[in-house]
Amino acid sequence: MIRLNLVLMLAVVASALYLVGVQFDSRRLTTEFDRARTEARRLATERERLQVEKRAQATPARVERLARDKLQMRQATPAITTYVTYSAAAEEGVK
């Protein structure tokens, strides 16, 4: 009888220690998860910010100005455009 009780008590102590360990792990992981999530949010907003920035750098107004001034381009007109008609045969040719 005493021996059984002893075994049971050891089991209780062991499981209690295990519980403490698991609890600790869970908290540590939660913290890590939370940090990762915060980082993900930060990166998402950063991405959004950069997208807006990229867009701001590529607005028609800026593209037009740079094309005209820096690259000496001019606006396309039908007079300087060659129109090609899309057809299945043409696609075969490309292949």
Partner 1 sequence: MSRSIQYTSSPLLASRTPVWRSKLVVGAIALAFLGLAARAAYIQVFANAFFQRQGEVRFARTLELPANRGRILDRNGLILASSVPSPSIWAIPEDVDADKAQLQRLAKILEIPVADLAKKLDDEDKTFVWLKRQVDDSVARQITALNIKGIYQRKEYKRQYPEGESAVHVVGFTNVEDKGQEGVELTFNKELSGRNGSRRVIKDRMGRVVEDVGDQIPPMEGQDLQLSIDSKVQFFAYQKLRDAVLEHKAKAGSVVVLDVLTGEVLALVNYPSYSPSKRTNLSGAQLRNRALTDTFEPGSTMKPFVIALALEKGLVKPDTVIQTAPGRLTIGGSTITDAHPHGPLTVSEIIQKSSNVGTVKMAMQTQPHEMWEMFSQVGFGQKPQVPFPGVVSGRLRAYKTWRPIEQATMSYGYGLSASLFQLARAYSVFARDGELAPVTLLKSTQPAPGLRVMEVRHAHAVLNMLHMATEPGGTAPKAQTMGYSVGGKTGTAHKQEGKGYADKKYRGFFVGVAPIDNPRIVVAVMIDEPSNGKYFGGDVAAPVFSETVQQTLRMMGVQPDMAVRPQIVAAVEESF
2 binds partner 1 (CB under 8 A): no
Distance CA 55, CA 61 (A): 11
For residue 23 the two structure tokens come to 């609890």
Q: Which residue has the tokens 């396309």?
A: 76
Please give the C-alpha separations between residue 9 and each of 4, 17, 19, 35, 47, in angstroms, as whole numbers.
Answer: 9, 12, 15, 39, 56
- Binding map of partner 1 across residues 12-51, x = CB under 8 A, - = no contact: --------------xx--xx--xx---------x--xx-x
Total number of residues shown for the chain:
95
Which range touches partner 1 (CB under 8 A), out of 9-17, 57-65, 66-74? 57-65
Give the residue, chosen from 83, 89, 91, 93, that forms a contact with partner 1 under the rule CB under 8 A. 83
Contact residues toward partner 1 (CB under 8 A) are 26-27, 30-31, 34-35, 45, 48-49, 51-52, 55-56, 59-61, 64, 75-80, 82-83
